[in-house]
């Protein structure tokens, strides 16, 4: 019996999910999951790790679809609700999935292509009449889920995790962040990424807590849920906190204070999936009474590093290795470093198994002694890791220096006229790369010369941007990360 099924049976009539104005118990969740599994199996006894795609709304139908696929012995492939058909085709073709669960609202988008491609399309609403079905015995070493990387530099790769890997990720977080059956969390994140799937849903349900779902982002609705007083855990990405701060600042002093009392009662608030600007962390603490816990992870490794649940949460730092996770820093020759920046490498049971169907890419992603190469550069000081950026996009090599785009961004954000910014490296014949900044301004105007003077007063000249570009907003992916390659082309 798999971990989630075993635990769900133990929690029985306790509330598991709140979605679509309805409450679902663990018993109802596992019952519906078994019906989904039975429908998928049909006359088969085991899906034998066949990929099954699903595109359903967040909530009861999402979790029962995922669990149903697992109970049938399949590999769950969540599809982003906002994906255009071409992106969905890529995932289906890359995984070879021949079964697809969807909600009614997505039938018009999917039905014609699935029919042409020979893909069996299952309507989730109809998966209720499956007769009692003997479910296969699924071992932990089997493939469980394929999530797709963002594909900023190449086509997205399917990241295959096993059930052992997923349970290891969950156990690590439960220990570090003290999940319990008393937890009641709100899911506002897209569910084709590890942040929402593992950190919010899976870990909470693993211990018997409640997950409440919000179908669409709404700052007003989030705070309305906060005011009800039931929630005690909240996880989001920096851009969501940025929007929540903007909403709070639009309220009266009395309304802000009322919400602060509600938020201060939470046991935990977390930020992840993108670097948390220090300014956002400080503003949120002032408005909510909560010091955000920042952590570091990625699709291939789950969560790996975290600020402590108890103890100092250092602004601009992602903390220390999580339980069961090994972390090291290496230089460009793959030699260990301790007193200088290096690439983060990760090892442990939480690490993914392989890139689906990409043997060469998998082999290149690991060292010969089994460490996963994250491509992220960090430094270690006083036991806390600090991310300097990605080798490919955030580490700028200019005139013999290695510059952190994230550090330059933090300084630029302290200018009174700067709402947000992103720093990139542009190819240059003389310098290798030069520093350039894309800036979103608050009300009012400021010139490139003024920004340049300000930056030169704050840091050495070789770190100061040589070019500035002003936009009304920064391009971002679904998890709120700025797509820097899209910015670079704007300077040409």
Q: What is the pTM of this model?
A: 0.86
Residue 187 lies in a domain: no
Angle between helix 253-264 and 219-228 (nearest 10): 60
Domain region containing 482: 395-491
Q: Which of 138, 168, 188 is the last residue of a domain?
A: 138
Mean pLDDT computed over 363-390: 93
Which of the listed residues 111, 138, 165 is the one where a domain comes to its end? 138
Task: Name the band, by pLDDT with cuts 50, 70 and 90, for residue 152.
Answer: very low
- Name the β-bridge partners of 372: 346, 366
Residue 160 lies in a domain: no
Residue with tokens 């790996």: 304
**Residues 325-350: pLDDT tens digits?**
999 999 989 999 998 999 999 999 99
Out of 113, 138, 163, a domain closes at 138
Decide if 122 is inside a domain.
yes
Answer whether residue 82 is part of any domain: yes
Is residue 150 very low, low, confident or very high in pLDDT (cuts 50, 70, 90)?
low
CATH number, domain at 95?
3.40.50.980
Q: What is the mean pLDDT of residues 434-456?
A: 92
Q: Please state the domain count of the chain.
A: 2
Does 192 map to a domain?
no
391-429 pLDDT, tens digit per residue, is 777 888 887 677 888 889 989 999 999 999 999 999 887
Structural domain includes residue 438: yes
CATH number of domain containing 471? 3.30.300.30
Of the candidates 56, 99, 55, 57, the one whose C-alpha atom is nearest the C-alpha of residue 75 is: 99
**Residue 448 within a domain:** yes
In a domain, 197, yes or no: no
């Amino acid at each position: 019996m798999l971990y989630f099924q075993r635990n769900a049976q133990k929690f029985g009539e306790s509330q598991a999910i709140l979605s679509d104005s309805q409450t679902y118990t663990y018993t109802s969740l596992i019952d519906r999951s078994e019906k989904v599994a039975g429908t998928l199996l049909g006359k088969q006894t085991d899906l034998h790790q066949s990929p099954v795609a699903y595109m359903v709304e967040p909530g009861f139908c999402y979790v029962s679809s995922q669990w149903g696929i697992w109970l049938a012995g399949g590999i769950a492939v969540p599809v982003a609700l906002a994906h255009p058909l071409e992106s969905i085709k890529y995932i289906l073709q890359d995984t070879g999935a021949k079964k697809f669960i969807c909600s009614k609202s997505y039938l018009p988008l999917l039905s014609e292509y699935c029919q042409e491609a020979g893909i069996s399309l299952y309507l989730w609403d109809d998966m209720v009449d499956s007769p009692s079905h003997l479910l296969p015995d699924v071992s932990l070493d089997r493939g469980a889920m394929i999530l797709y990387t963002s594909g900023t530099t190449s086509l997205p790769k399917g990241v295959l995790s096993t059930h052992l890997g997923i349970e290891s990720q969950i156990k690590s977080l439960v220990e570090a962040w003290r999940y319990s059956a008393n937890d009641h969390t709100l899911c506002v994140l897209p569910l084709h990424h590890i942040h929402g799937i593992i950190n919010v849903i899976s870990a909470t349900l693993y211990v018997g807590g409640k997950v409440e779902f919000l179908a669409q982002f709404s700052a007003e609705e989030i705070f309305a849920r906060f005011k009800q007083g039931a929630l005690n855990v909240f996880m989001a990405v920096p851009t969501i906190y940025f929007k929540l701060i903007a909403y709070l600042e639009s309220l009266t002093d009395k309304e802000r204070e009322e919400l602060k009392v509600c938020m201060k009662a939470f046991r935990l608030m977390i930020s992840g999936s993108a670097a948390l600007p220090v300014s956002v962390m400080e503003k949120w603490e002032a408005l909510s009474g909560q010091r955000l816990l920042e952590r570091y992870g990625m699709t291939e490794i789950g969560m790996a590093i975290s600020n402590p649940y108890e103890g100092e949460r250092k602004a601009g730092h992602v903390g220390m290795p999580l339980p069961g996770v090994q972390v090291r820093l290496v230089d460009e020759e793959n030699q260990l470093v301790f007193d200088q920046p290096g690439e983060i490498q990760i090892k442990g049971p939480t690490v993914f198994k392989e890139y689906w169907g990409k043997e060469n890419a998998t082999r290149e992603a690991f060292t010969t002694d089994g460490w996963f190469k994250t491509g992220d550069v960090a430094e270690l000081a006083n036991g806390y890791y600090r991310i300097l950026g990605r080798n490919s996009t955030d580490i700028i090599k200019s005139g013999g220096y290695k510059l952190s785009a994230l550090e330059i961004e933090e300084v630029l954000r302290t200018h009174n006229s700067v709402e947000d910014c992103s720093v990139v490296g542009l190819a240059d014949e003389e310098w290798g790369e030069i520093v350039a900044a894309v800036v979103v301004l608050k009300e009012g105007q400021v010139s490139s010369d003024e920004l340049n003077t300000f930056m030169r007063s704050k840091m050495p000249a070789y770190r100061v941007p040589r070019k500035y570009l002003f936009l009304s907003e920064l391009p971002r992916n679904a998890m709120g990360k700025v797509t820097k390659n899209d910015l670079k082309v704007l300077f040409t």
